[in-house]
Amino acid sequence: MCNATVALAVLGGAQSGLQFAGKRRQEKQQLQYQRAAAEAERQRALMEQRSIGIRQAQEEVAMRTELGKIEEQAVKSRGAVTVAKGQSNVAGVSVDAVLNDYYNQEAQNRAMALQQRDFRNVQAGLASTDASFRSKNRLIDINRPVARTSFAQGAINLIGSTVKGARTGMELKREFGTPKTP
């Protein structure tokens, strides 16, 4: 039965050692996963920020095109009035009023277009800030603390399992007695 006591002590110690090794391996795998996931999140956030910047640049180009069209239309309208004025030899307050009306309309259209640009810039800034916050939250979620397995705790578990196995073996020996060999 002495062999059974030793065998149970060794099995208890081996089981504890295997559990410790498994926990360490799992800890290393979790840390590798976290590093890979954090890098993937950083890349995703960078692409999102670039996308916001590209969209903002595209909207700026569209805004400049729109401002060009507004100016072109205003120049054509004023030109038509000026030509009509010259052809009919008309002068006076009514022609000047029409020209002023075209200038005012051009100024209003420009102001509205520039205000829209300002709104889109604010929206892009908010989207960028929101993307940063979401990325930080994802990184916090990814990088949750990993339970570390210490060598001291592993050694204590190993000793405890070995002692428990030895105690179980001794109890079995007491319970069943020592076998008699003929």
Q: Is the pLDDT of residue 50 over 90?
A: yes
Structure tokens at 29: 């795998």
Q: Are 102 and 74 in contact (CB under 8 A)?
A: yes
DSSP letter, residue 1? -
Which range, of 21-25, 43-47, 139-143, averages the lowest pLDDT? Answer: 21-25
How high is the pLDDT of residue 16?
A: 67
The range of the structural domain enclosing residue 159 comes to 2-176
User: Which amino acid is present at 180?
Assistant: K
Structure tokens at 18: 């295997």
Q: Residues 77-117: pLDDT tens digits?
A: 878 877 777 666 666 667 778 888 888 988 998 899 999 99
Residue 150 lies in a domain: yes
Q: What is the pLDDT of residue 133?
A: 93
In a domain, 102, yes or no: yes
Tokens 């009023």 identify what position?
97
CB contact burial 49-60 (16+ within 10 A = b; e otherwise): eeebeeebeebe
- Taking the C-alpha atoms of residue 125 and residue 153, their distance in angstroms, rounded to an integer, is 50
The residue ranking higher by pLDDT, 142 or 158, is 142
Task: Tell whether 21 is covered by a domain.
Answer: yes
| Angle in degrees, CA 27, 144, 19, rounded to 5 | 20
Assess if residue 160 is contained within a domain. yes
Distance from C-alpha of 64 to C-alpha of 58, rounded to nearest angstrom: 10
Most distant CA atoms of the chain, gap in Å:
144
Q: Is residue 182 part of a domain?
A: no
Taken as a whole, the chain contains a residue count of 182
Placement of tokens 């990993």 in the chain: 146
79 belongs to a structural domain: yes
Are residues 136 and 89 in contact, defined by beta-carbon separation less than 8 angstroms? no
Q: What is the mean pLDDT of the chain?
A: 81
Number of folded domains in the chain?
Answer: 1
pTM higher than 0.75, yes or no?
Answer: no
Asked, for residue 181, whether it belongs to a domain, the answer is no
CA distance 56 to 54: 5
